[in-house]
Structure 1
Amino acid sequence: MTRKTVRIAMNGVTGRMGYRQHLVRSILALREQGGLDLGDGTVLWPEPVLVGRREHALRAIADRHGLSEEHVCTDLGSVLADPTVDIYFDAQVTSAREAALRQAIAAGKHVYTEKPTATGLAGALELARLAHAKGIRHGVVQDKIFLPGLLKLKRLVDGGFFGRILSVRGEFGYWVFEGDWQQAQRPSWNYRAQDGGGIVVDMFPHWEYVLHELFGRVTSVQAVATTHIPQRWDENGKPYDATADDAAYGIFGLDGGAVAQINSSWAVRVHRDELVEFQVDGTEGSAVAGLRTCRAQHRSATPKPVWDPDVPATEVFRDQWQEVPDNGEFDNGFKAQWELFLRHVYAGTPYHWDLLAGARGVQLAELGLRSSAEGRRIDVPEISL
């Protein structure tokens, strides 16, 4: 068995997502399991290089996880100039991402990045074109489709369980505290449009790939984006004006004729089993999927409720659904996609969650905001290199 060291520059690991999901639960988890076995006698051994502006924060993370001084750097240019660094990963704030990705692509590094990949479609498409021209491998995080609940849902789709799919209804969100009397669960930049914040920019790229991968390409969007909470308090307890949307209500037309309706909100109190749930209805059956669970109801087992508002309901509707079994073990979704990307880079396995796929997400967010501003339905054209 040959061990190959893979040095990965990780920019943005001081943030919640970059640290928890990408560094700890993905790259360090791969090291804990002994590396990634490619199946040809080669084991990839990931070596993270923590990149960022706050050296003390990076060193604290390195010390916490037993990483040496050579694993920390505050100069992105020098990291990208290092020939021993193979991959650049970006989990920075959205406004800083595009320029850093351009720099990494120019340096000839393979790139893997959080989304949105850029602040606008033109920039996102340019990144995809530059990467293609450079001949590097590139990938975009699309973690939701690796969740156990959605993997089970895809199993039902692929098995023809639904028949003709009619509709998809999604509910996502939770109450994010304003920050005055309880600390907010999200950083303040999320609520400032000038800093790249907003729930449309954040979540519509997710909905694009979920819908695209499971049900078909998004062909139209009609959205209402709004700011329900106009004032919030930042990390230092100072009030600020929330200039970005904190809720969005979208209707998406899908290739094949199905209709998807997804509500996204950081100003909603949860009355559902999970923070995100999707209900899919088809001619032959329906299913409700969350982060981890999925329940289904086939046509042959569908009850016959009768509307009668004059008497109390006697049916327990949730009990009429069947749990979809795991039928396997599900790893952390972020780690699972990291493994696929690393296999793509070093073993040449197929991989289609690339910068062009990321550009589709940016496009949907851009058109969603335009739809809200203009108060109309907008067609979503296909994009290509």
Structure 2
Amino acid sequence: MTTRRTIGIVMNGVTGRMGYRQHLLRSILAIREQGGLPLEDGTLLWPEPILVGRSEARLRALAERHGLERWTTSLDDALADPITEVYFDAQVTPAREKALRTAIAAGKHIYTEKPTAESLEGALDLARSAREAGVRNGVVQDKLFLPGLLKLKRLVDSGFFGRILSVRGEFGYWVFEGDWQSAQRPSWNYRAEDGGGMILDMFPHWRYVLDEIVAPVRSVYAHSSTHIPERRDEQGAAYPATADDAAYGIFELEGGVVAQINSSWAVRVDRDELVEFQVDGTEGSAVAGLRNCRYQHRVGTPKPVWNPDLAATEDFRSQWHQVPDNEVFDNGFKVQWELFLRHVVTGSDYHWDLLEGAKGVQLAELGMRSAREGRRLDVPALEL
């Protein structure tokens, strides 16, 4: 007979776009819709979300929409619920560190969005506190579980590239200013005082992508810009954009690999996907996006000759091949949730912890400093 074990998860910030769509709807509720999370001993783990937020009306509406019974505007009450074992945070960055400390002090296991704190000192202190409290902890590193990047890692692990030389990344799209079309991202993203900013938002992602798929980051040079100086908020009121909406980074990786990644909310897309990484090596190259990954081996590499007086005669795109799926890819956020919940209950291997999250904060902090000072900075190893 199958045993069902309930695990209470306090979910703070799920009335926001990312917290709701990816974490509640497509992860926790999706696990419930499939009947629970099967463990190796045959137990079905049943996640029971406890919704937390500032707006009673929004929480009530969300709970009613999905048939959920537990919600509150009090974090303390949620943490005191007898079924609570895990605390999850998807709030705005300035509110995260204090809430995580409260949950750690309450003895709850921690799973959180990034950046984990506004400073490296705060991020490292959170990691130490969790270790001292003996609570399991994890940080969302969703892009590692995207189909396109899983295919790219498959190529790296197979030795396809030979010696990797460089990485070029392009990320972003046009976020409307909010005047003649409403913005598709929340206004706080463009206010530094509310935790907004492209470097703080995206460099933590680029840290784990580069570290885990290509090679560890050893130095950073960054330039940031606020291309759109004024935007309109959700009520249509104009406000000054005080945070950077674009960042241009050059990262030196272990082994001499050079990575260049452009990130912008003020760019129009001329790519197959909203993010793409091109990796070039001595034996071959690949371009990976969210879902797809195409490759070109050295034996299939064309030999173009520069001649600006003649139109190009080769269809370069047709000379690349698609890496096949060869497996069924689930939602990346859901996959990492399942790994973390198994880790909490069974102690299974899991290394994307608060120390890994601190590495992302470190790169963001160094990136912002590099942009201010206009110089390349080393990225030292982190230890608790």
Fold shared per TM-score above 0.5: yes
Alignment of 1:235 onto 2:234: yes
Give the Cα–Cα distance (whole angstroms) in 1 for the partners of residues 179 and 361 of structure 2: 32
Matched letter for residue 327 of structure 2: G
Gaps of 5+ in 1: none
- Tell me what 1:109 maps to: 108
* 2:66 pairs with 1:65: yes
SS at match of 1:351: coil
Deviations 1:270-322 (A, max 9, x none): 00100000000001100000000000001111111111111110111110001
2-side partners of 1:155 and 1:203: how far apart?
A: 24
Q: Within 1, Cα distance between the matches of 2:81 and 2:133?
A: 18
In 2: Cα distance, 1:143 partner to 1:33 partner: 21
CA distance in structure 2 between the partners assigned to 1:24 and 1:79 by the alignment: 20
Q: Does 1:135 align with 2:161?
A: no
Q: Give the whole-Å Cα distance in 1 for the aligned partners of 2:30 and 2:208.
A: 26
Equivalent residue of 1:180, what SS? coil
Please tell me whether residue 314 in structure 1 is matched to residue 319 in structure 2. Answer: no
Secondary structure of 1:314's counterpart equals coil
Matched with 2:216 is: 217
TM-score using structure 2 length: 0.99
The alpha carbon displacement at 1:85 in A equals 0.3
DSSP 3-state at the match of 2:312 = coil
Tell me by how many angstroms 1:257 deviates.
Answer: 1.2
Distance 1:360 1:162 in 2: 26
Gaps of 5+ in 2: none
Give 1:21-100 correspondences, 5 Å limit: 21-68=22-69, 71-100=70-99
2:137 partner amino acid: H
Q: Please name the residue that 1:172 is paired with.
A: 171
Look up the match of 1:383: 382
1:198-277 to 2 correspondence within 5 Å? 198-277=197-276
- Tell me how many residue pairs correspond in the alignment: 383
> Which residue in the other structure is 2:283 paired with?
284
Letter in 2 for 1:351: Y
Deviation at 1:264, TM superposition (A): 0.2
TM-superposed CA distance for 1:24, in Å, is 0.3
CA distance in 2, matches of 1:256, 1:226: 30
Q: Deviations over 1:221-270 (max 9, x none)?
A: 00001100000001110000000000000000101110100000000000
What is the CA RMSD across the aligned residues, in angstroms?
0.6
CA distance in 2, matches of 1:102, 1:214: 31
Q: Write the letter of the residue equivalent to 2:28.
A: I
Secondary structure of the residue aligned to 1:369 is helix
AA matched with 2:146: L
Q: Distance in 2 between matches of 1:343 and 1:142?
A: 16
Aligned with 1:105: secondary structure? helix
Counterpart residue type for residue 116 of structure 1: P
Distance 1:277 1:166 in 2: 17
CA displacement at 1:124 relative to structure 2: 0.3
Q: Using the alignment, how far apart are the partners of 1:267 and 1:64 within structure 2?
A: 35
Specify the code of the residue in structure 2 equivalent to 1:32.
E
2: CA distance, partners of 1:133 / 1:218: 28
1:82 shift after superposition: 2.5
Q: Deviations over 1:166-189 (max 9, x none)?
A: 000000000000001100011111
Tell me the TM-score normalized by structure 1. Answer: 0.99
